[in-house]
Amino acid sequence: MEEQKSQYLFGLHPVIEAVRAGKKFDKILVKQGLEGQQFRELLELAREKDITLQFVPAERLNRAVRGAHQGVIAYISKIDYEPFETLIDTALALKPDPIIVLLDGVSDVRNLGAIARTLECAGGSGIIIPAKGGAAINADAIKASAGALMRISVSRVPNLRLAAYYLKQSGFRLIAVTEKVSSTIYSTDLTGPCAFVLGSEGKGISQAMMELSDEKASIPMAGEISSLNVSAAASAVLFEAVRQRLA
């Protein structure tokens, strides 16, 4: 229970002071309709430091904290996130053919951890996740990653399209991994700088990211189940990219 408590702060004043002090957060939840001078101060600080606030019903905050949360709960990040420009520029500087993964709506922390572990084993450069709707990097995610989340770069962005545009401008090919096309990962060139887009098992890749992708590739299925768990799909595509690089 103490470990759980140490993962978040609540109350307007403690959260404002933590933001001022430069603490990193996975997310800050704010009660819908919250008003007042301290709230406006938090809003201004969040804008200044490019922190995304998520506005949620009061019931969600009440379920998370039994104390006087004053309409604000901030979940402390377990890692230091990198700006996506830094992640991409560094990847290109260190390797001629870097691999980056973009997770579009993947919210399960164990899937995030498993993907990070596979990416690190495949020699990948980093993961980019959305600030809203993506999995939090908490103790469970780090455990599932076998520590890989402490070794690879991770960036959180307000909108994945921002990172997608920058990747394309930087010479990456954006490849959407989806079962909705006939071309496969085995018939697609996965060499050179590649950014693989993986979606949630429920909704898949968003239409916006599909339209931005340079190519789309599927993982062929021989059984009756039509799709893989997203972390298993990541393993298939990442190690096909490794195989092609070694060929």
Same domain, 59 and 14: yes
pLDDT of 201 higher than 80: no
What's the confidence (pLDDT) of residue 67?
76
Same domain, 103 and 195: yes
Decide: pTM greater than 0.85.
Answer: no
More confident residue, 172 or 48: 172
Segment 83-122, tens digit of pLDDT: 999 999 999 999 999 999 999 999 999 999 999 999 999 9
User: What residue type is 167 in one-letter code?
Assistant: L
Residue that is last in its domain, among 49, 76, 103 = 76
Same domain, 227 and 169: yes
pLDDT above 70 as % of the chain: 98
Structural domain for 11, as ranges: 2-76
Same domain, 179 and 143: yes
Same domain, 88 and 72: no
The residues with which 172 forms a beta bridge, in sequence order, are none
Same domain, 172 and 63: no
Same domain, 31 and 70: yes
pLDDT of 186 higher than 90: yes
What's the confidence (pLDDT) of residue 198?
97
What's the confidence (pLDDT) of residue 1?
31
Same domain, 51 and 11: yes
DSSP string of the chain, one letter each residue: -HHHHTTEEESHHHHHHHHHTT--EEEEEEETT--SHHHHHHHHHHHHTTPPEEEE-HHHHHHH-SS--TTEEEEEPSS----HHHHHHHHHHH-SS-EEEEEES---HHHHHHHHHHHHHTT--EEEEESSSSPP--HHHHHHTTTGGGTSEEEEES-HHHHHHHHHHTTPEEEEE-TTSS-BTTTS---SSEEEEEEBTTTBS-HHHHHH-SEEEB----SSS----HHHHHHHHHHHHHHHHH-
Residue that is last in its domain, among 76, 104, 129 = 76
Same domain, 72 and 140: no
What's the confidence (pLDDT) of residue 3?
36
Residue that is last in its domain, among 20, 54, 76 = 76
Same domain, 103 and 136: yes
More confident residue, 115 or 203: 115
What's the confidence (pLDDT) of residue 220?
93
What's the confidence (pLDDT) of residue 135?
87
What's the confidence (pLDDT) of residue 42?
94
Mean pLDDT calculated for residue range 209-222: 95
CATH number of the domain residue 219 falls in: 3.40.1280.10
Number of domains in the chain: 2
Mean pLDDT calculated for residue range 9-26: 86
Segment 3-13, tens digit of pLDDT: 344 478 888 99
Segment 152-174, tens digit of pLDDT: 999 999 899 999 999 999 999 99
Same domain, 201 and 152: yes
Q: pLDDT-derived band of residue 181, with 50, 70 and 90 as boundaries?
A: very high
pLDDT of 55 higher than 50: yes
CATH number of the domain residue 22 falls in: 3.30.1330.30
Same domain, 182 and 143: yes
What's the confidence (pLDDT) of residue 136?
81
